């Protein structure tokens, strides 16, 4: 095995990993970034609409309003201390991105331009606010490029196309990671004092998703196997507007610019479901509305999709109806949403300036994941006990700033705010600790697992198992779930796991770029996360945020103001997963209000029913 | 639902298998294909249903990550952005040219990224930050001057379609120039001179013979040749202002 030693090992080179790398380097640490993709291929580059920050460049705004929206959007499962940090540090982080050269669109006053986005309001829900800072509809692309450019400038070490496959732990302390060099198939050990997982989400557990093929949850699954519980896995966001059947995302920015959702009768149905903010209600609300319209036969031509309409005539009609004097034209749409138009023209042959777009909910974002505190330190139980040397940030982490449902633009904020905090914390941590020695058998277990997959003589092809997993997740653990559907999913997933461990076979026996082998290994990660998702969802007998149960339609604050934690029991091959529900939600902003003696009806941060 | 039969001819090579270590063609037939299926999905079907050893890079599947540049019927493109209806029932797929093939459709991208890194592809501004602690100011019109080149996803479609690059791999290539352009014409940046000096050298912009392959090859519709022309002008004039005329590229 090849050996490397760096104080800080960052796994993943999306927005979170790169931000952490910049800050850990700046803090004086010796850093290596290990990524299975070239950094610029990371899915942060797919983010479209914007990054939220209460800059107030267009209308009055304050971080406390941003925190409020984040908590309400999260259906009050959001840890309030995390939401506060996110909202306050968003401002500095966005300014910092501008100083790194990010080409934001500009206001007439030459400041960073902002647009409206679902669930973002002024003065605790009073009216929609322009908070999403944007660079056309490729904000994520510009963030990813800009951060990578700064890493080149600062000469950060990169190990591109190295896939991390295990975490090395010695006596409860982090000691490094094991990675496969994809170009050669060889195993490498990275000995480190601190490891940060920034491996992104796992939307590929579902069949209709906005996520890249590479989003297979590797980091989360690895952590789970090494004793870290997964927090709030039942909360996976379905974005309301994926391109019909393909799942490619159409940003909420389309609705932010005035686009509306219409059913088969041409009705703007969100007026019914969210009378005040309508099409810009939070995502879980809009996805359920689409689902309900379709279920009631009002999908377009009776199919499972509705229309998203950004044609200027339609948009202007509703502007007029609402008494706004804003008007848009074709050129405006072209300049604000060029990529969206390109996707629709390429994949659908539909020109959104002339025709509405067919959309349906698409599996989009993991609210749950590796539990961390606000310094990106991984915690391993309900008492927030820190695991020494282990960190996580970005979509794979659960801070939890997003609670039961993330607001649009808040993931990009999460990446830069908590990536930065993680980077700083690691730089400080590695100065004060010795190297944890590598155990003698470091890497042996995962090497054996790879040998097993490679030599499998069974009859199941990984893609067949993957298709079956994605289908059962879409059908049974989707926008709506019930006890029956989830139990069905768990049963099917257990069977798939059985086949995965006892009956698998692959074609490619080589070592160089053996993508057949790597895909099979990734499937193992997804099968685990899918089952943990279904098990966690079964336990939570209420509906909250993105977790909507037909059999428990109401939110139940008396029993469920807690985060779930799912632990692997025994080897992943036969684990049953133990899910607990006793990690309390941080309610510090509300506690403050009570301590100040605010009367009940003035307490903004007290959990209450959500109305949009 | 049309139900097409499509024949793929794929250029393959596997350094680990004697006899297959030299490039060769292999045919695959797929049935049940929709005209709107993407070429990437079809390559996946071949890999998953017929031959797991077929190797390629991909990630986002909708044209934003730049992983899956390849030659499809002789033209550079991202496999995830080409629909079957655009290329017909007989489809030839090869690795991009000018970079060493590692396995099947996977080429060694390191020379490409080395060129990219050589043009100082990062923002430089050493002025003290604004006193109000806020962003530097820029007009939208100034931002629009380099908007087009910010779209680059480093897929290499342009560079590997360029005969000058094929002839001489030391040429930095169109993609690196596009990346430099993005900073050279950014009014906030302060290192234009250094970048122009780099690009004025032997393996810089003057190796571009305006053959124009790069522009139609760009899956992001960047006006690559125009951008290279603007960099050439800036070198000749020794300054960057007054060169870029903003035209709205998105007129369909
Ligand atoms: C289409 C789309 C649009 C979006 N739009 C917005 C938006 O407008 N605003 C917003 O706030 N959010 C948006 N989001 C969400 C947001 O983009 C993502 O949540 C976020 O970018 C995730 O970033 P990350 O750094 O955590 O991970 P990613 O950017 O996904 O990066 C993951 C990294 O981990 C690496 N990796 C993974 N596994 C391994 C392994 N085993 N070994 C080594 N490396 C590994 C990969 O190579 C990659 O570098 C959008 C998401 C999608 C899908
Ligand atoms: S797979 Fe990302 S560009 Fe094609």
Listing DSSP states for A99-148 in one string gives: HTT----B-TTSSB-EEEEEEEEETTTTEEEEEEE-STT-HHHHHHHHHH
Q: What is the pLDDT of residue B156?
A: 98
Of the residues A115, A138, A255, A283, only one is catalytic, namely A283
pLDDT of A414 above 50: yes
Atom of ligand 2 nearest to the CA of A213: 1
pLDDT of B249 above 50: no
User: How high is the ipTM of this complex?
Assistant: 0.97
**Confidence band (pLDDT; 50, 70, 90) for A610?**
confident
Whether residue B65 has its Cβ less than 6 Å from ligand 2: yes
pLDDT of A437 above 70: yes
Of B16, B48, B56, the CB nearest to A511: B16
Residues 6 or more apart in contact with residue A148 via CB below 8 angstroms? A13, A18, A39, A40
Q: Is A421 among the residues known to form the active site?
A: no
Contact between B97 and B13 under an 8 Å Cβ cutoff? The reply is no
Across the range A450-458, mean pLDDT stands at: 97
For chain B, give the number of residues: 252
Q: What is the pLDDT of residue B246?
A: 78
Contact between A268 and A325 under an 8 Å Cβ cutoff? The reply is no
Q: What is the pLDDT of residue B250?
A: 44
Q: What is the pLDDT of residues A46-61, one digit of tens each?
A: 998 899 999 999 999 9
Q: What is the pLDDT of residue B248?
A: 57
* Ligand number nearest to the C-alpha of A419: 1
Phi and psi for A523 in degrees, rounded to 5?
-60, -40
Q: What is the pLDDT of residues A478-525, one digit of tens each?
A: 999 999 999 999 999 999 999 999 999 999 999 999 999 999 999 999
| Whole-number Å distance between alpha carbons of A568 and A225 | 7
**Which of the four CATH numbers 3.30.70.100, 3.90.1150.10, 3.90.700.10, 3.40.50.1100 does domain A239-362 have?**
3.90.700.10
Ligand 1 centroid–CA A415 distance in Å is: 9
Fold for the domain defined by B4-106 = Ubiquitin-like (UB roll) (3.10.20)
Listing DSSP states for A476-491 in one string gives: HSSSEE-HHHHHHHHH
* Burial class of residue A245 (count of CB atoms within 10 Å of its CB; 0-12, 13-18, 19+): middle
**Min Cα–Cα distance to chain A from B11, Å:** 16
| Whole-number Å distance between alpha carbons of A416 and A96 | 10
Across the range B73-89, mean pLDDT stands at: 96
**Min Cα–Cα distance to chain B from A515, Å:** 6
pLDDT of A538 above 70: yes
* Residue boundaries of the structural domains of chain A: 239-362, 444-566
* Secondary structure (3-state) at A398: strand
**Min Cα–Cα distance to chain A from B129, Å:** 8
Atom of ligand 2 nearest to the CA of B65: 2
Ligand 2 centroid–CA B11 distance in Å is: 20
Across the range A101-128, mean pLDDT stands at: 95
pLDDT over 90 percentage in chain A: 95
Q: What is the pLDDT of residue A550?
A: 92
Residues of chain B with Cβ-Cβ distance to A40 below 8 Å are: 65-66, 153-154
| Whole-number Å distance between alpha carbons of A298 and A291 | 10
Peptide bond preceding B33 in cis form (omega within 30 of 0): no
CB contact under 8 A, A37 and B66: no
Q: What is the pLDDT of residues A330-361, one digit of tens each?
A: 999 999 899 899 999 999 989 999 999 999 99
Pocket test for ligand 2, best of B65, B93, B154 (most atoms within 8 A of CB): B65
Pocket test for ligand 2, best of B43, B44, B64 (most atoms within 8 A of CB): B64
* Residue boundaries of the structural domains of chain B: 4-106, 109-251
Cβ–Cβ contact A507 with B under 8 A: yes
Residues of chain A with Cβ-Cβ distance to B146 below 8 Å are: 103
Of A40, A103, A345, the CB nearest to B153: A40
Which positions 322-341 of A are in contact with B (Cβ < 8 Å)? 331, 334-335, 338-339, 341
* Ligand number nearest to the C-alpha of A213: 2
pLDDT of B2 above 80: no
3-state helix, strand, coil in chain B (%, to 5): 35, 15, 50
| Whole-number Å distance between alpha carbons of B35 and A470 | 24
**Confidence band (pLDDT; 50, 70, 90) for A236?**
very high
| Whole-number Å distance between alpha carbons of A562 and A585 | 5
Q: What is the pLDDT of residue A488?
A: 98
Across the range A93-119, mean pLDDT stands at: 96
* pTM reported for the whole predicted model: 0.96
Across chain A, mean pLDDT equals: 96
Q: How many C-beta atoms lie closer than 10 Å to residue B6's C-beta?
A: 21
Q: What is the pLDDT of residue B206?
A: 97
Q: What is the pLDDT of residues A169-183, one digit of tens each?
A: 999 999 999 999 999
Cβ–Cβ contact A150 with B under 8 A: yes
Fold for the domain defined by B109-251 = Fumarate Reductase Iron-sulfur Protein; Chain B, domain 2 (1.10.1060)
CB contact under 8 A, B60 and A508: no
**Min Cα–Cα distance to chain A from B216, Å:** 15
Atom of ligand 1 nearest to the CA of A52: 11
Of B109, B140, B153, the CB nearest to A105: B140
Residue whose C-alpha is closest to residue A2's, from A142, A252, A176, A219: A176
pLDDT of A1 above 90: no
Q: What is the pLDDT of residue B247?
A: 64
Cβ pairs bridging A and B (under 8 Å): 164
* CATH code of the domain occupying A444-566: 1.20.58.100
Across chain B, mean pLDDT equals: 95
Across the range A376-387, mean pLDDT stands at: 98
Tell me whether strands A127-133 and A157-160 are parallel, antiparallel or unpaired: unpaired
**Confidence band (pLDDT; 50, 70, 90) for A150?**
very high
Q: What is the pLDDT of residue A611?
A: 82
Which positions 400-439 of A are in contact with B (Cβ < 8 Å)? none
Q: What is the pLDDT of residues B103-158, one digit of tens each?
A: 999 999 999 999 999 999 999 999 999 999 999 999 999 999 999 999 999 999 99
pLDDT of B1 above 80: no
């Amino acid at each position: 095995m090849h050996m490397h030693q760096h104080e800080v090992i960052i796994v993943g080179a999306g927005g979170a990993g790169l931000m952490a790398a910049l800050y850990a380097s700046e803090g004086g640490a010796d850093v290596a970034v290990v990524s299975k993709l070239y950094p610029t291929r990371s899915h942060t580059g797919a983010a479209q609409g914007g990054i939220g920050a209460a800059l107030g460049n267009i209308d009055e705004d304050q971080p406390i309003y941003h925190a409020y929206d984040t908590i309400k959007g999260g259906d009050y499962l959001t840890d309030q201390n995390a939401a506060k940090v996110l909202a306050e540090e968003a401002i500095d982080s966005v300014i910092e991105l501008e100083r790194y050269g990010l080409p934001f669109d500009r206001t007439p006053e030459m400041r960073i331009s902002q647009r409206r986005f679902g669930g973002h309001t002024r003065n605790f829900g009073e009216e929609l606010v322009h908070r999403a800072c944007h660079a056309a509809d490729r904000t994520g692309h510009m963030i990813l490029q800009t951060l990578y450019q700064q890493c080149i400038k600062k000469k950060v070490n990169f190990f591109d196309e190295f896939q991390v496959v295990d975490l090395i732990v010695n006596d409860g302390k982090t000691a490094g990671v094991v990675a496969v060099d994809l170009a050669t198939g060889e195993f490498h050990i990275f000995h480190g004092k601190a490891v940060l997982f920034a491996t992104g989400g796992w939307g590929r557990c579902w069949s209709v998703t906005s996520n890249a093929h590479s989003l297979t949850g590797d980091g989360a699954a690895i952590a789970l196997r090494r004793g870290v519980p997964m927090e709030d896995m039942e909360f996976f966001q379905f974005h309301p507007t994926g391109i019909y059947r393909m799942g490619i995302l159409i940003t909420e920015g389309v609705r932010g610019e005035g686009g509306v959702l219409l059913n088969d009768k041409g009705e703007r149905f969100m007026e019914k479901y969210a009378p005040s903010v309508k099409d810009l209600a939070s995502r879980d609300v809009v996805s359920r509305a689409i689902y309900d319209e379709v279920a009631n036969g009002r999908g377009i031509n009776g199919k499972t999709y509705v229309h998203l309409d950004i044609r200027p005539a339609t948009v202007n009609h509703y502007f007029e109806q609402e008494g706004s004097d804003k008007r848009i034209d074709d050129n405006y749409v072209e300049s604000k949403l060029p990529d969206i138009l390109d996707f629709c023209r390429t994949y659908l042959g539909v020109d959104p300036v002339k025709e509405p777009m067919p959309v349906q909910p698409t599996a989009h974002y993991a609210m749950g994941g590796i539990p961390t505190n606000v310094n990106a330190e991984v915690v391993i139980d309900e008492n927030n006990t820190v695991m020494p040397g282990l960190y996580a940030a970005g979509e794979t982490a659960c801070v939890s700033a997003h609670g039961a449902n993330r607001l649009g633009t808040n993931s990009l904020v999460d990446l830069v705010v908590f990536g930065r905090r993680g980077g700083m914390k690691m730089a400080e941590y590695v100065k004060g600790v010795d190297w944890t020695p590598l155990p003698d058998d470091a890497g042996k277990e995962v090497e054996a697992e790879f040998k097993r997959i490679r030599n499998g003589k069974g009859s199941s092809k990984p893609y067949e198992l993957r298709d079956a997993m994605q289908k059962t997740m879409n059908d049974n653990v989707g926008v709506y779930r019930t006890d029956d559907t989830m139990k069905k999913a768990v049963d099917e997933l257990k069977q798939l796991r059985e086949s995965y461990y006892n009956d698998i076979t692959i074609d490619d026996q080589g070592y160089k770029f053996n993508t057949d082998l790597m895909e099979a290994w990734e499937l193992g990660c997804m099968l685990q996360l899918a089952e943990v998702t279904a098990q966690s969802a079964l336990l939570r007998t209420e509906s909250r945020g993105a977790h909507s149960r037909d059999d428990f339609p109401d939110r139940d604050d008396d029993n469920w103001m807690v985060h779930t934690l799912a632990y692997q029991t025994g080897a992943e091959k036969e684990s049953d997963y133990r899910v607990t529900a006793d990690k309390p939600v941080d309610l510090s902003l509300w506690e403050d209000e009570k301590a100040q003696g605010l009367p009940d009806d003035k307490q903004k941060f007290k959990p209450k029913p959500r109305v949009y | 639902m049309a139900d097409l039969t499509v024949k793929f001819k794929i250029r393959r090579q596997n350094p680990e298998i004697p006899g297959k270590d030299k490039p060769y063609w292999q045919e695959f037939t797929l049935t049940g294909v929709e005209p709107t299926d993407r070429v990437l999905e079809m390559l996946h079907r071949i890999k998953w249903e017929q031959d797991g050893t077929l190797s390629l890079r991909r990630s986002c599947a909708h044209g934003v990550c730049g992983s899956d540049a390849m030659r499809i019927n002789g033209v550079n493109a991202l496999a995830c952005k080409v629909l079957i209806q655009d290329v017909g029932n007989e489809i030839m797929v090869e690795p991009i040219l000018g970079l060493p093939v590692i396995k099947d459709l996977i080429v060694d991208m390191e020379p490409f990224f080395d060129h990219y890194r050589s043009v100082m592809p990062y923002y430089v501004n050493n002025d003290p930050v604004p006193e109000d602690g806020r962003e530097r100011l820029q007009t939208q019109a100034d931002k629009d001057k380099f908007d087009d080149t910010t779209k680059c996803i480093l897929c290499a479609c342009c560079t590997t379609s360029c005969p000058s690059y094929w002839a001489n791999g030391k040429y930095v290539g169109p993609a690196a120039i596009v990346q430099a352009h993005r900073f050279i014409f950014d009014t906030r940046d302060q290192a234009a001179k250094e970048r122009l000096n780099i690009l004025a050298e032997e393996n810089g912009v003057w190796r571009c013979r305006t053959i124009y392959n790069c522009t139609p090859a760009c899956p992001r519709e960047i006006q690559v040749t125009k951008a290279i022309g603007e960099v050439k002008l800036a070198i000749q004039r020794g300054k960057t202002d007054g060169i870029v005329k903003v035209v709205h590229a998105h007129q369909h």
